[in-house]
Structure 1
Amino acid sequence: MYFPARIATPLLAATLAGCATLAPPAPPVLSAYIVVGEGGAATVRVLSDAATCPPIDIDGRAQPMQLRAPASTVAQRPTASSPADSKPSAFPLLTCELPLPPGTRTATVQGQALPVPQGEPRRIVVIGDTGCRMKKADNAFQACNDADAAPFATVAASAAAWRPDLVVHVGDYHYRENPCPAGNAGCAGSPWGYGWDTWREDLFRPAAPLLRAAPWVVVRGNHESCARGGQGWWRFLDPRPLQPGRDCNRAADDDTGNYSDPYAVPLGPETQLLVVDTAATTWKGLAPGSTGFERYRDAYTRAAALAARVPYNLWANHHPILGFGADLDKNGQRYLQLGDKGLQDSFGSVDPLLLPRNVQAVLSGHAHLWEQVSFSSPHPSQFITGFSGTAEDTVPLPEAPMDVQPAPGAIIDSFSSWVGGFGFMTMERTGPGAWHVEVHDRNGVVQNRCELTGRRSRCDLTQVRTQVRPRAH
């Protein structure tokens, strides 16, 4: 119906004023996702730059969310970089959360449906080492502006299209630590440091489709230690309550913030995932009596007690205990980087075989490649999935390294690797203690297939062939 302008203007103004009163604009949500913690408990996290946390709709009923962390700027603390290459961490947003009641069928935030856990997870995506590397000390500056050189967004979209029930990230989410050098077009304009702007570009923006696809189990890597991205780790990812002194804001509290107890996520009546925080270990080894040595001894004891509950366990920690990578020495000769010595020292002081007998496989990252190792000795299989976005390792591994022992007494029986390719790994349960494993490239194309039965694994290909590109600098 047409109204003359002299009538329509005041009427329209009054109508709009009434609408503004009745329906204020919804507060903006920057990210909404679900993390899974101890006992399989699921928690919704919402990141918002509004003044208050938004409500959440659970099974058709609106409920308020709880504030996990307020907006703040954290004073500059000692970091892994020099003071000149560090800065305060700005978090101009709220982190909100709410535990989901068991049996929840649906959950939405401002119309966005969340991937509520539905029954036993049988299809699992495993990714790791996803951020874009910017580190002055190593003169390592990945081309973050090039989707081909830094393809985590592509990997995440392909992994989401596989329709997983659960995502396991084995650590190292944050890599943009230092400013991009002047004149470097590959990373020009990238945020850096440990605040929200970097976490947004390294994780939350590229991972958006995968965060919407399934709940996540998050494993902590060394890039989330307190001297690096630990502040964001505790604000955004760790499933446990955020406590003062365990937030990595003060270096004086690092002996608290750098460690946390293991927990178990049920995958079915006979299988569970053990999540073990090894962020502060070191390949140089740990001396008896040191903080790390004692904390990881305790972590092993606790994890072993959890493992005893079921016959089959998948153990997830960032640093490979039973795997290895390769690099070149100053003479250009290849040498192998064996399993993490700090964990071998600490775990080995409790158990010479390093892991409980009913652990069937270890899921790790840290080495920027994909790898499978199975043993004739009584050790579980090792899978490494550190190939999901960070600049790849480029030194090829031996095709049949049967004479290599990544840990004392670990005798290799079967080995497979992919060096220089980006992608993700999937696991589908085929029976008690049995999994079908596939290795996908960044576009989701399957490059290798493996079977894991009990502690033994074997793959179709010994090596996935791919053109290795030089590491970006």
Structure 2
Amino acid sequence: MLLSTLKRGAIALLLTGCAATNPSPPPDFTSYVVLGEYGAAVARVLIDAPACPAIVINQHSQPMQLRAPAQTIALRATPSAPADSKPAEFPLLTCETPLPAGTTSASVLGRALPLPKAEPQRIVVIGDTGCRLQKSSNSWQACNDSQQYPFATTAAQAAAWKPDLVIHVGDYHYRENACPDGNAGCAGSPWGYGWDAWDADFFAPGARLLDAAPWIMARGNHENCLRGGQGYWRFLDPRPLLKGRDCNAAADDDVGNYSDPYAVRIGQATQLLVLDTANTTWKGLKPGDVGYARYQDLYRKMAALSQQAPNNLAIAHHPLLGMGADRKADGSIVLLPGDAGLQAAMGSVNPQYFPPAVQALLSGHVHLWQQASFSSGHPSQFIAGFAGTSEDIVPLPERLPPGVTPAPGAVVEHFSSWVDGFGFMTMERRGAQQWHVEVHDLQGTIRNRCELDGRRSRCEVAQVK
């Protein structure tokens, strides 16, 4: 609900620093820090107020800049029928300020902001965190049940692990359609692509983890322009918000659905390469398709960035080198390879799909945890899409059958998975090319341990039970 005129006046006094005998308490707001190109940190604040607040950096106060105003965006094409859609309402300001290198303290309205470390040692990896409400698939997750939608628990446990950095591999928003009448599991849930659904799906349950460390916010298919792209560009992407790249008008989708990769240095000659794969398709892409050319270009720009450091970890929502599973009508199980669209486009430039300096790919999209390592020289694949969204429950084999591969030319050497279990993944640096990886459940118990050394990885347990 928007604030009353009287309350807005009181907040205006607070935000402008005017003296008052009994100043009003600060308004409720959301704050976080996102890392972008070259590791530049940006402080963000989402607030229902007449103006952006001040930010205090190294004991010096300055006004925050307006990234996006409060507004209601006209209904545009979505995956749903118009009767099952509505305009996206954003009744609050998105404010931001770059944090200069060497910042030692930063706060907004008395709340301290987490600051980036030059060489983060402890990294949390999560993905696919929203609560699925989707009419087209008749999927109605019980958002009101913390056992069936446990992202708040996942976030709290991950925050308690005290990370230096959080990586979200995409798919934040899932509340697309209204909960059916009589469904107690999701009754009363916000829905659509406006702030109320974004808050319920991501910002409110993720609050403790947002406070714990800076984030890298990769983009998933649920954030393409047909779906939650407006909120993604407004809230999460670290780069400037540009007209035409904001997903507000369907005519601009060929711009808004794609963006260039960027690199975040994390010390010890290591980079994170963040890739936007929001608009790929598992059905495949072919020459002449817009996406085919865009993802060829994505590969070339990623390859150029990878030359800036000897060690790189790529982050892309869609796993090129991972496996999924589905059940046929007769009950038999079919194994599903990695994303065919990206394989076609990126594989046309390099049959290995990634440049030599990329050690591993961190992904989501498949709602489980998975690791795969290859004798064919491909980078290791980790999937961490198990933080909150309805889990995939079709079992994967403990060992892949001979000849089964997630991508043409990729020969699986080691494979590990956890199906139908919620949690989060962590990575601890052990050396320039060495990482210790752990898989945690909702109680914080470690369910698997893995080692990544160069491009190869191996886990203690082939299949978490």
TM-score, normalised to structure 2, is: 0.95
Structure 2 residue 203 is matched with structure 1 residue 221: no
What one-letter code is carried by the residue in structure 2 that aligns with 1:455? R
Structure 2 residue 42 is matched with structure 1 residue 50: no
SS in structure 2 at match of 1:21: coil
| Pairs within 5 Å for 1:30-429 | 30-403=29-402, 404-429=404-429
Aligned-partner Cα distance in 2 for 1:123–1:402: 35
Q: Is contact 1:375-1:381 (8 Å) kept? A: yes
SS in structure 2 at match of 1:95: strand
- Runs of 5+ in structure 1 lacking a partner? 1-18, 466-473
| Pairs within 5 Å for 1:451-466 | 451-465=451-465
Aligned-partner Cα distance in 2 for 1:393–1:117: 34
Aligned-partner Cα distance in 2 for 1:366–1:307: 24
Per the TM alignment, residue 27 of structure 1 is displaced from its structure 2 partner at its CA by 4.5
What one-letter code is carried by the residue in structure 1 that aligns with 2:89? A
Q: Is contact 2:268-2:432 (8 Å) kept? A: no
User: Over the residues paired in the alignment, what is the CA RMSD in angstroms?
Assistant: 1.0
After superposition, give the CA deviation of every residue in 1:138-173 in whole Å (9 maximum; x if it has no partner).
Answer: 000000000000000000000000000000000000
Aligned-partner Cα distance in 1 for 2:208–2:291: 36
Aligned-partner Cα distance in 2 for 1:64–1:159: 32
Aligned-partner Cα distance in 2 for 1:461–1:39: 36
| Pairs within 5 Å for 1:15-34 | 21-22=20-21, 24-25=23-24, 27-34=26-33
Per the TM alignment, residue 310 of structure 1 is displaced from its structure 2 partner at its CA by 1.3
Q: Which runs of 4 or more aligned residues in structure 1 lie more than 2 Å from their structure 2 counterparts after TM superposition? A: 19-27
Aligned-partner Cα distance in 2 for 1:127–1:23: 43
What one-letter code is carried by the residue in structure 2 that aligns with 1:294? A
Partner of 1:445: 445
SS in structure 2 at match of 1:431: coil
Partner of 2:6: none
Per the TM alignment, residue 180 of structure 1 is displaced from its structure 2 partner at its CA by 0.2
Range 331-340 or range 222-231, more displaced: 331-340
Q: Is contact 2:423-2:439 (8 Å) kept? A: yes
SS in structure 1 at match of 2:430: strand
Q: Is contact 1:178-1:192 (8 Å) kept? A: yes
After superposition, give the CA deviation of every residue in 1:2-58 in whole Å (9 maximum; x if it has no partner).
Answer: xxxxxxxxxxxxxxxxx9735642542420000000100000000000110010111
After superposition, give the CA deviation of every residue in 1:284-326 in whole Å (9 maximum; x if it has no partner).
Answer: 0011021100000000000001011111110100000000110
Per the TM alignment, residue 435 of structure 1 is displaced from its structure 2 partner at its CA by 0.2
Q: Is contact 1:394-1:419 (8 Å) kept? A: yes
Per the TM alignment, residue 118 of structure 1 is displaced from its structure 2 partner at its CA by 2.7
Instruction: Go from structure 1 to structure 2 and tell me whether the alpha carbon gap of 1:29 and 1:59 turns closer, same or farther (over 3 Å shift).
Output: farther
Overall identity of the aligned pairs, in %: 66
Partner of 1:4: none
Per the TM alignment, residue 431 of structure 1 is displaced from its structure 2 partner at its CA by 0.7
Q: Over alpha carbons, which structure has the higher Rg? A: 1
Partner of 2:433: 433
Aligned-partner Cα distance in 2 for 1:92–1:34: 21
Aligned-partner Cα distance in 1 for 2:443–2:105: 30
Q: Is contact 2:118-2:266 (8 Å) kept? A: no
Per the TM alignment, residue 442 of structure 1 is displaced from its structure 2 partner at its CA by 1.4
TM-score, normalised to structure 1, is: 0.93
Aligned-partner Cα distance in 1 for 2:442–2:170: 18
What one-letter code is carried by the residue in structure 2 that aligns with 1:151? P
Aligned-partner Cα distance in 2 for 1:397–1:427: 24
What one-letter code is carried by the residue in structure 2 that aligns with 1:232? G
Aligned-partner Cα distance in 2 for 1:30–1:106: 19
After superposition, give the CA deviation of every residue in 1:97-135 in whole Å (9 maximum; x if it has no partner).
Answer: 000011000001111111011331110000000000000
- Runs of 5+ in structure 2 lacking a partner? 1-17
Instruction: Go from structure 1 to structure 2 and tell me whether the alpha carbon gap of 1:20 and 1:264 turns closer, same or farther (over 3 Å shift).
Output: closer
Aligned-partner Cα distance in 1 for 2:360–2:437: 12
What one-letter code is carried by the residue in structure 2 that aligns with 1:102? A
SS in structure 1 at match of 2:447: strand
Aligned-partner Cα distance in 1 for 2:157–2:196: 24
Aligned-partner Cα distance in 1 for 2:22–2:293: 56
Aligned-partner Cα distance in 2 for 1:435–1:143: 36
Aligned-partner Cα distance in 1 for 2:367–2:24: 44
Partner of 2:9: none
Q: Is contact 1:167-1:214 (8 Å) kept? A: yes
Aligned-partner Cα distance in 2 for 1:314–1:23: 51
Aligned-partner Cα distance in 1 for 2:197–2:394: 29
Per the TM alignment, residue 337 of structure 1 is displaced from its structure 2 partner at its CA by 1.4
SS in structure 1 at match of 2:371: strand
Per the TM alignment, residue 402 of structure 1 is displaced from its structure 2 partner at its CA by 4.9
What one-letter code is carried by the residue in structure 1 that aligns with 2:345? S
Q: Is contact 1:388-1:424 (8 Å) kept? A: yes
Aligned-partner Cα distance in 2 for 1:262–1:82: 33
Q: Is contact 2:296-2:345 (8 Å) kept? A: yes
Range 24-33 or range 294-303, more displaced: 24-33
Aligned-partner Cα distance in 2 for 1:105–1:283: 44
Aligned-partner Cα distance in 2 for 1:82–1:228: 13
Aligned-partner Cα distance in 2 for 1:57–1:389: 34
Q: Is contact 1:402-1:411 (8 Å) kept? A: no
